[in-house]
């Protein structure tokens, strides 16, 4: 965990102790601090700081002592104590850059008590304010390098706090801002995908798959650590199967998500219902291609944009076979009702340019090449024009 924020280290002790000479409670406090200065082992430094706090709890140097404690705890990789020290610093001085940064960074790893959530929220909002106004402690170069990082971190921690309150929609908003500031952070992608999934809103599940996929399939420096990656993968698979009906194609979608931190506007994924229809269509096309072609045409005409689709195909001949339901006039018909999906249920009306050369028996199988011109909805019937030469009797074996 690295930051360009200022940290007071034990190496600064001599110059600081001289400057603060009149702030020591007594000689005993000063001598205890001198022992701390000479200690190089972080664990021993923390033990001496603990003694200092016990003997001088109200020391005028409490904030500086907490900064030394934070520095030693970092060296010891004791992140729980780093957070405790950061919270102490932030409580004493809300504008202290070290306190606000480490409190914001480590809050999501802490027990979500009301006190922790309140302190973390305050620190995160302070950090976001610092991200819009350069702190005095940072140079211009450091500011330009880190303001996006601070913005992402502030929104990320606020999202975690909202998550603990089960406010997943608010967490989503914070995470979108975090991802915009730092699109390389796959943990943000993972959290955003999870927050979308947990809202259980159908329209958000597809985007959830994209963000979880990116978090799971990213390798290298930006990869999630093992346990977090496994958890994200389990959630991704559950959401994907719920949407698509099976895990088929998940790896291909996962690779697709590596192209961008957010899904493109045309990102689509076949739903379970669509997959079921597709499989039915494939089986029908194998066993009865004539009926399969009619089912697909009918679905397109009945679906969204059906009227425009009809206009687009009105000059394209449709080749079908169907059973005669009715014909008029009986002797030499110019209009023939055709059943396609079910016997005796009229679905197509053929309008001939010239009379057929004889009567057509009910149930006769005819083959025709016709042009769709109009539809009715109740019942759904497609009217088609057909040339007399493009209509003929057929046999069931053809």
In angstroms, the CA 148 to CA 150 distance is: 5
Phi, psi of 70 (to 5 degrees): -60, -45
The crossing angle, in degrees rounded to 10, of helices 114-132 and 79-92 is 70
What domains sit in the chain, N to C, each tagged with a CATH number? 1-129 (1.25.40), 300-393 (2.40.50)
Residue 213, exposed/middle/buried by CB under 10 A (0-12, 13-18, 19+)?
buried
Question: What separation in angstroms does the CA of 318 have from each of 281, 311, 350, 372?
Answer: 18, 14, 12, 8
Alpha carbon distance 392, 55 (integer Å): 107
Q: Which residue has the tokens 């030469």?
A: 389
What is the pTM for the complete model shown?
0.74
Tens of each residue's pLDDT in the chain, 398 residues: 444 444 444 444 444 454 455 578 888 888 888 888 888 999 999 999 999 999 999 888 888 899 999 999 999 999 999 999 999 999 999 988 899 999 999 999 999 999 999 999 999 999 998 887 776 666 777 777 778 888 999 999 999 999 999 999 999 999 999 999 999 999 999 999 999 999 999 989 999 999 999 999 999 999 999 999 999 999 999 999 999 999 999 999 999 999 999 999 999 999 988 888 888 889 998 999 999 999 999 999 999 999 999 999 999 999 999 999 999 999 999 999 999 988 889 999 999 999 999 999 999 999 999 999 999 998 999 999 999 999 999 886 55
């Amino acid at each position: 965990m690295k930051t360009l924020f200022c940290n007071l280290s034990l190496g600064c002790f001599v110059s600081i102790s001289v400057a603060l000479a009149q702030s020591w409670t007594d000689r005993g406090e000063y001598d205890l601090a001198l022992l701390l200065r000479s200690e190089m082992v972080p664990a021993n430094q923390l033990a001496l700081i603990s003694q200092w706090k016990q003997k001088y709890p109200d020391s005028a140097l409490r904030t500086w002592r907490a900064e030394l404690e934070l520095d030693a705890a970092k060296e010891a990789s004791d992140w729980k104590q780093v957070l405790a020290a950061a919270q102490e610093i932030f409580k004493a001085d809300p504008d202290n850059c070290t306190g606000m940064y480490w409190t914001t960074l480590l809050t999501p790893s802490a027990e979500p008590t009301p006190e922790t959530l309140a302190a973390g929220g305050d620190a995160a909002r302070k950090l976001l304010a610092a991200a819009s106004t350069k702190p005095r402690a940072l140079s211009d170069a450091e500011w330009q390098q880190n303001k996006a990082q601070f913005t992402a971190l502030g929104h990320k921690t606020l999202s975690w706090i909202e998550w603990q309150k089960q406010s997943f929609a608010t967490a989503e908003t914070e995470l979108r801002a975090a991802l915009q500031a730092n699109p390389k952070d796959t943990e943000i992608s993972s959290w955003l995908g999870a927050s979308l999934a947990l809202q259980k809103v159908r329209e958000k599940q597809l985007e959830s798959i994209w963000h979880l996929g990116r978090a799971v399939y990213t390798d290298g420096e930006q990869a999630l650590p093992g346990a977090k990656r496994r958890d994200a993968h389990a959630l991704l698979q559950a959401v994907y199967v719920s949407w698509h009906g099976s895990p088929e194609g998940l790896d291909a979608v996962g690779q697709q998500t590596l192209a961008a931190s957010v899904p493109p506007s045309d990102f689509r994924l076949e739903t379970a219902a669509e997959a079921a229809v597709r499989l039915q269509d494939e089986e029908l096309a194998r066993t009865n291609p004539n009926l399969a072609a009619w089912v697909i045409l009918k679905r397109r005409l009945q679906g969204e944009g059906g009227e425009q689709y009809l206009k687009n195909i009105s000059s394209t001949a449709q080749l079908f076979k169907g059973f005669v339901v009715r014909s008029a006039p009986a002797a030499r018909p110019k209009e023939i009702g055709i059943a396609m999906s079910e016997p005796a249920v009229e679905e197509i009306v053929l309008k001939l340019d010239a009379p057929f050369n004889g009567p057509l028996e009910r149930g006769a199988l005819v083959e025709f090449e016709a042009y769709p011109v109009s539809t009715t909805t109740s019942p759904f019937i497609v009217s088609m024009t057909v040339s007399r030469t493009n209509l003929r009797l057929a046999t069931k074996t053809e």
